[in-house]
Structure formats: C-alpha cells, structure tokens
Amino acid sequence: MKRLFALFGIVLCSAVILGQNRTGVENLADFDERLFHFGFALGFNKSNFYMVTNNNNYNLDGDSLIGVSVDPQSGFNLGIVSSLNITNSLKLRFIPSLSFQERMVDYSYKMPNIVDTIFTQQQRVESTFLDFPFNFKFRTYRAHNFAASFIVGGKYSLDMASQQDVTEDAILKIKKPDYSFELGVGTDFFLQYFKFGLELKYSMGFPNALIQENNQWSRPIDSLRNQMWLFSITFEG
C-alpha cells in the first residue's frame, strides 16, 4: 500500500512540473464545453479480502489450525474512459475495465508434539474481473491547468476466473458476481493536446464472496468481501 502512495506522489510531482512548462498558457481552454470525453486508463491495484473468521470451526477435523489471515497482492487494470459533462464541476464517468487481482490466504498450524513450531499453508485466489463502474466525479474549478476532484460511485463486477462451478473441493472458491462501492480522490492536468489525470480509489464489496463448501479451507471463514486500492493514470481527449 505504501508503494501505491509513493507512486502517486512521484507521478503527481512529475505532472505538476510538466504542467508548468507552458507557463501563462491555458491548455484545452474549451475542454469543459464539450459534452462527452473519451480516453483510456492504466492502473495498479493492491487487492485484499475483508475477512471474518469463525474460531469455533478451526479444529473440527482434529487439526491444529490456530489462525487464518490474508496477504494482499499487487495487480493491474486496463480500462476505457467515457465521461459525460453534467456541469463544469460534475462528471458522470463509466470506465469498463479488466482487473487482474490476486490474494493469498494463509492458514497457520501448530506442529504436533513440537513446542512453539508453526507452519503455514496457502491458498492462492486469482481473479480476472470484468468491471463496470459508474462514478460521479466532483471537480474543483480549474486553477490554470490544474484541478482536483473527489470521486464516489458503485461497481458491478464479474470474476471471469471464478471457480464457483468447479467440482474440486480442495480449493477456496469465490463467487463470480460482485457489487461494491468506490471512493477516491484525483487530480487533472490540462496539457497541450490531452488531459492527464491521476486517481487513487478504494473499493469494498457489499456481498459475501465466499462459497462455503464446509471443507478445511472455507470452514474457518464466515465471510470474505473483496477490497482493493487502485492507482490509475488516465488520458482523455
């Protein structure tokens, strides 16, 4: 997560310097007068699960499970930007995207008959989400070639890599559809030929994504909700 914030800061500073190269000139002066804008987005994500465990189900098979945790992993996003100008300060944005995500769920066990010895087994959960987010973007008035924004919205997702229909029970399975809310902040830099944007967004799924199959992987867990931090770079014309 710290790397995402550091990357956001580095790119922001670079964009500020780039935006000042044409001091005194207001780039894309008629940008907000157009009703629609289109572009593309590149993103880097850090995905996680918000997990609720059930301690009462830890050792039903006579094993020595002592804890379950999630190790967030990095991924990336590719999207197409469509933006509707409702007013100069309010935009409705639709950014269909492919999101490649990965999470590691760690199961910690005590070694039998060996004091203070713990070993870990992992379940890798990989997802390829087809995302359909609708966001409202509240933007400040332009300060020369710069503007800041606040983003709020919702997202419907389909996990194309979901194994919910696989009959194998030796894996941790996640449901295919998901619904989530999104909150974020961003900055816009109006360059000579296009608008360059930076966004940092957080999303949290509403439903429990876990498929409970009463096996050693799902039994200790009551619920899993998808979480993600996303840093995006956008280019709009």
pLDDT digits (tens, 9 = 90+) for 166-184: 877 778 999 999 999 999 9
- Which of 2-16, 107-121, 149-163 tops mean pLDDT? 149-163
Tokens of 232: 């995006």
Average pLDDT, the chain: 88
pLDDT of residue 9: 55
Enumerate domains of the chain plus CATH numbers: 2-236 (2.40.128)
The structure tokens 């880097």 sit at 44
Q: Of the ranges 91-95, 216-220, 223-227, which one carries the lowest mean pLDDT score?
A: 216-220
pLDDT of residue 22: 47
The structure tokens 């409202």 sit at 136
pLDDT of residue 167: 77
Mean pLDDT of the region 153-171: 88
Q: Which H/E stretch holds residue 146? A: strand 146-159
pLDDT band at 109 (very low <50, low <70, confident <90, very high): confident
Mean pLDDT of the region 95-108: 96
Rounded-to-integer distance, Cα 139 and Cα 132, Å: 22
Q: Of the ranges 31-35, 115-119, 144-148, 155-159, which one carries the lowest mean pLDDT score?
A: 115-119
Mean pLDDT of the region 152-169: 90
Mean pLDDT of the region 104-111: 89
Who wins on pLDDT, 155 or 53?
155
pLDDT in tens, 56-88: 766 655 568 888 999 999 999 999 999 999 999
Who wins on pLDDT, 169 or 136?
136
In our burial notation (b when 16+ CB lie closer than 10 A, e otherwise), range 131-159 reads bebebebebeebeebebebebebebebeb
pLDDT of residue 168: 73
